[in-house]
Amino acid sequence: MPGISHGSLGLDTFLADLRELVECESPSSDQAAVARSADLVARVGAARLGAEPERITIDGCAHLRWRFGDGDRQVLLLAHHDTVWPLGTLATHPYGIAGGVLRGPGCFDMLTGLVMAIHAVAGLPVRAGVTLLVTGDEEIGSPSSRALIEQEARRSKAVLVLEGSAAGGALKVARKGVSLYEVGVTGRAAHAGLEPEKGVNTTLELAHLAIAASALSDPAAGTSVTPTVIAAGTTTNTVPASGSFAVDVRARSHDEQLRVDRELRDLTPTVPGAVIEIRGGVNRPPLEESASRSLLERAIALAARLGLPPVSGASVGGASDGNFTAGVGTPTLDGLGAVGGGAHADDEHVVVARLLDRTVLVRELVAELREDGA
């Protein structure tokens, strides 16, 4: 199998780079930790690419960009260096390899994909027309990086997202869109023992609303509406005067996102005197299969030509920054990163035997795309 970088860089170097990143914990909500991670990614990337990245800090969050050449027909590789795991996770989930399986916080989502992107670009004989963007807030919805991602996507002819693969190593050709809401209720406090009838109980209203919101799901259309975190009240002997719950919505089409948005906002109170406020909305548009089809066909043909493991595609419920790039109309192929599983879970893992062939696939796909008018 071809090498994955300039010179003799191979699996040992790849694993050394990955271990450094995994052992530099980077929870999205801790901007100091994310900044430390960005410093490390910059150092590792500069060593492999022979070039320092542009450091972009937006709202206190650290992002990195390597841009090779100019123009508005670039191939964009997209990765993120933040993870969901809190500081201290390494104490219970240390980096390690056993039986050909690599483990550690963030290894699958998505630090392995980030190292793959760096090594793939390092192995290109010509890099002009290639940009690598590494963001630091993907796991919390990309609030500071979304505009940057969309800006880069608009000047790109193709986007390759290095998120972990779907089951069995399949590439992710469709992702559901995400909408995030907070349903707030205002009522009136009263003593729960002396005169509960004088209160307006927000806990009761929230219960009615949570059931009504869940009923907006449409499994046949692939739409889920899931009430999640809920809070109400102040003390156990007081009728709660305020409260709220969060709602996670996943949909395959923008029309479904709009339907749920409209019907959620049309909900009316059941408890007399309760006042409802709906906050939030669409967070990520869907990545629809039409945005990925041509790139998947290229990857399938390329893998066959190079004698790499066969490539397939899959639709998944989770979202990524690829939803944004597809949303602005740029062909996008996702799930090109690690083969493994357990994202956000205790069994997060990466299959070591698939690291090199996946990196070769990314490298050769970038090389082919930058050479033609795809």
Beta bridge partners of 73: none
pLDDT at residue 71, rounded to an integer = 80
Q: What percent of the chain has pLDDT over 70?
A: 97
Q: Is the pLDDT of residue 100 over 70?
A: yes
Mean pLDDT (the chain, rounded): 95
Return the beta strands (E) in the chain as ranges.
54-58, 61-68, 74-80, 96-98, 101-103, 130-135, 156-161, 171-175, 177-186, 190-191, 224-232, 238-239, 242-251, 275-284, 313-316, 332-333, 340-341, 349-351
Interatomic CA distance for residues 176 and 68, integer angstroms = 32
Mean pLDDT, rounded, for 328-354: 97
* Confidence band for 8, pLDDT divided at 50, 70 and 90: very low
Q: Which is higher by pLDDT, 70 or 310?
A: 310
Q: Is the pLDDT of residue 5 over 80?
A: no
pLDDT at residue 345, rounded to an integer = 96
pLDDT at residue 373, rounded to an integer = 54
Count the alpha carbons within 13 Å of 14 in the hemisphere toward its beta carbon. 32
Per-residue pLDDT tens for 199-208?
999 999 999 9
- Say how many C-beta atoms besides its own lie within 10 A of residue 342's C-beta: 15
Q: Is the pLDDT of residue 3 over 80?
A: no
Q: Is the pLDDT of residue 337 over 90?
A: yes
Mean pLDDT, rounded, for 260-264: 98
Can you read off the two tokens belonging to residue 153? 């996507």
| SS3 (DSSP) at 256 | helix
For CA atoms 349, 354, 359, 362, the dihedral sign is: negative
* Confidence band for 7, pLDDT divided at 50, 70 and 90: very low
* Of residues 126, 78, 120, 106, the one with CA closest to residue 356: 120
Q: Is the pLDDT of residue 23 over 70?
A: yes
Cα-based distances in Å from 69 to 31, 125, 127: 30, 14, 8
pLDDT at residue 9, rounded to an integer = 59
Interatomic CA distance for residues 30 and 40, integer angstroms = 16
Q: Is the pLDDT of residue 1 over 80?
A: no
Mean pLDDT, rounded, for 313-330: 95
Q: Is the pLDDT of residue 40 over 50?
A: yes
Residue 69 is given by DSSP the state S
Mean pLDDT, rounded, for 300-309: 97
pLDDT at residue 252, rounded to an integer = 93
Cis peptide before 116 (omega within 30 of 0): no
Q: Is the pLDDT of residue 136 over 80?
A: yes
* Confidence band for 372, pLDDT divided at 50, 70 and 90: confident
pLDDT at residue 6, rounded to an integer = 38
Q: Which domains does the chain have, with CATH numbers?
A: 11-175+286-371 (3.40.630.10), 177-284 (3.30.70.360)
Residues 6+ apart with CB under 8 A from 82: 26, 27, 28, 34, 37, 135, 136, 137, 138, 139, 140
Mean pLDDT, rounded, for 299-315: 97
Q: Is the pLDDT of residue 69 over 80?
A: yes
Query: Strand 171-175 relative to strand 242-251: parallel, antiparallel, unpaired?
Result: unpaired
Cα-based distances in Å from 220 to 149, 223, 224, 252: 32, 8, 10, 11
Q: Is the pLDDT of residue 374 over 60?
A: no
Q: Which is higher by pLDDT, 96 or 6?
A: 96
* Confidence band for 108, pLDDT divided at 50, 70 and 90: very high
Interatomic CA distance for residues 222 and 250, integer angstroms = 8
Evaluate if pTM is beyond 0.95: no
Q: Is the pLDDT of residue 270 over 60?
A: yes
pLDDT at residue 94, rounded to an integer = 98
